[in-house]
Amino acid sequence: MFAFCAFEGVKAQVQTLTKPLSKKTIQSFPETFVVLDTATYNQLFQKIKYKTDLLNEMIENQKEIIAEQENIIKSLNEESQQSAKIHKLHSELIENQKKQIELMQQEIESLKKQLAEKSKKK
């Protein structure tokens, strides 16, 4: 026989009994104190072990999922940084093209003035 005593928030304590307890003794225990025969205790222990193993497996799966999500986030951050660099370079290219157009327009105006002056001289 086993005496199984658990309090909320406290780890369960299991103690092997050398002799069966009387009903009077059992009734004097707190509500959270349970007396189990060996077979019931073993069955309960197996259920707890199964659920613990299952929870540990779930935890490992969650850790793997978290690691994958962290890798995805890292990859997205890198892509975002690259995209920002590309955007900056594209903006610089546009500004340079605008400056080139402005210089070309100034050159055209200059050539027009030169042409007009040459036409006046003739």
Q: What is the pTM of this model?
A: 0.49
pLDDT digits (tens, 9 = 90+) for 24-73: 666 666 555 555 666 777 787 888 899 999 999 999 999 999 999 999 99
pLDDT digits (tens, 9 = 90+) for 77-117: 999 999 999 999 999 999 999 999 999 999 999 999 999 88
31 and 47 in a common domain: no
74 and 25 in a common domain: no
Domain that holds residue 47: 41-121
Query: CB within 8 A of 14, min separation 6: which ones?
Result: 2, 3, 4, 5, 41
Specify the number of domains making up the chain. Answer: 2
